[in-house]
Amino acid sequence: MFGRSFRAQDTEENFVIKTLSKAIVTIGRNELITAIKNGFKEHSLCVGCHILMLILKSSLPRKVLVNAFIFVCTSFQFAKTYECQGLLNTYAVCIPLRKQFENFKSLQPTINHIRKKSRLRGDEMCGVFFGVKCALKVTRNLHWTIHLPKAIESKNNREISLNPNGYFIQVTDIHPDANYSPGSCADCGGMLCCEKLSGQCTGDSAAGNWSDYRKCDMSLEVIDYVLSRLKVHKDAKFMLITGDYVKHNTWEVSIEQSKFYINWITNSILKSNYPFRIFPSVGNHEAAPVNCFAPPQVKNELNTTWLYEGGYYKEYIDENTVLIQVNSNYCNRLNFWLLMYPIDSGDQLKWLTSELYETEKAGKKAYIVMHIPVDNRECTEAWTWNYIRIIKRFQKIIVGQFFGHRHYAEFRVMYPLDGSNTVIGVQFITPSLTTFSATNTAYRLYFTDQQGFVTDFETHYLPLEEANKGNVYWKKITPQNGLSFQLQKFQDFDIFREGMQLSNMREYCLFYTSNAINSLHNCSDDNYLRKIVDDAPVCIPFKCPLKGLEV
């Protein structure tokens, strides 16, 4: 009498299950996963997104939505049952599913709050998440503009000297796992393996003492060893640590757990007693839930003030160069808060523009440092579009851009919005410390000239298969011995990319994985090679994708 009957709820639940299942079948399960990671792919994806938003914004009971989403998640094997339940609990509904969840403050209904409070239409949400092609019309929420000040006279010389003046270190994506267990199953079928709960395995199925190429992070002991080893680079000017200090247990991450790993890494760094300064960034895995970085206007219990004041800062690294550390989690499509506050969330680009302008007026140069690369897969189209405008406007004073997040040794070549082939900037992406997934433990040294331009770099890596056999040693790979490529100016990246043939594509594939030779990277497959090379250009937002390379 006071609510829906059991039969009514059952009927509604079946309707949601059938509707979502049909959409997933139409799009394709694997295609949907790829689109969530990379953005727009097919128009069928937009139809599916519109259907999902109609369901989320409906007045259907929470229990109906919960049961339907768990059923669809498990039926299509997006994750294991407990992971599906954990993801829904962590992001959406805050229902204690296990005893250890009950006291976690992080388990707040983030998505539930956003779907009820956001003023964006459903198609606008799809436009933010997947790209404007999924919106019914382009609104200011999808295509906004940052004001850029007029250029002033700059005497900075853009020519790169081949004489190095020093070097700095970049470490990224550490992902320690306190539950890592040698001998556990490395291919457990879950989102994260190599833990005691993964079960015990033998032979090639078992996790090694140092880690594994499959979906496994690294033990605290191994991470501690790697961080301690960095002391050998005693002449380094400084070190960048560009985020991701928490393991990949996305379905059950908590504020308490995130704090534990941040504090543990901080203590490991402090006891290493480095002779150089350290500049940290915030990674997308530090938030709880993962990726969900609330902007400053969120004042309730869902805010992110437990983690940082803003997650961005500037510091002078010498008298002529300022380091500007931007919180690129505010650009991340997978940050669900952008479905509520899509326009320059956290005022990051406004702040970046202001700092670059002050740097320009002072006659100084700038490094830009972030966790997430600004490209056509990770950031919203509007954020990327404005970032390209900012780089073009201040290209005379920006001497380097440095990122992590991707876990592989990559770069992004940036072009102006007018469609010309003149390179306005290059994003250097350092490979990860963690071996998750299918890469060797690595960090990078960047060598610079007197102006701060990168003249060369070395990727130092630990061959994992050898380490697991007891042969622990480090090797290094450079653009010269890994790509037959010498960096003299940013345009060289464009020349290198455009001229890439199958032979040096295969070289690049090994460089990309920090020489991790395993079956998870098929460096002899032409389509795979084309894919990783095609990731390099940052094409014009709202006009993507670029045409693929001819092989």
Annotated binding site for Zn(2+): 173, 175, 244, 284, 371, 405, 407
Residue 323: how many other CB atoms lie within 10 Å: 21
Do 341 and 128 form a contact (C-beta atoms < 8 A)?
Answer: no
Query: CA-CA distance, 350 to 347, in Å (whole number)?
Result: 5
Q: How many residues does the chain have?
A: 551
Query: CA-CA distance, 357 to 166, in Å (whole number)?
Result: 27
Residue 523: how many other CB atoms lie within 10 Å: 17
β pairing state of 277-280 and 238-241: parallel
Do 68 and 179 form a contact (C-beta atoms < 8 A)?
Answer: no
Query: CA-CA distance, 364 to 382, in Å (whole number)?
Result: 28
Name the one residue in this structure whose structure tokens are 């523009």. 353
Residue 140: how many other CB atoms lie within 10 Å: 11
Query: CA-CA distance, 224 to 273, in Å (whole number)?
Result: 13
Q: Which parts are annotated binding residues?
A: 173, 175, 244, 284, 371, 405, 407
Do 478 and 457 form a contact (C-beta atoms < 8 A)?
Answer: yes
With residue 110 as reference, give the H or E element that holds it.
helix 110-117
Name the one residue in this structure whose structure tokens are 């500049």. 279
3-state secondary structure (DSSP) of residue 183: coil
3-state secondary structure (DSSP) of residue 477: strand
Name the one residue in this structure whose structure tokens are 């020093």. 166
Q: Which two tokens stand for residue 349?
A: 């680009």
Q: Which two tokens stand for residue 223?
A: 């991470």
Do 224 and 268 form a contact (C-beta atoms < 8 A)?
Answer: yes
Do 463 and 510 form a contact (C-beta atoms < 8 A)?
Answer: no
DSSP string for residues in 73-87: HHHTTSS-HHHHHHH
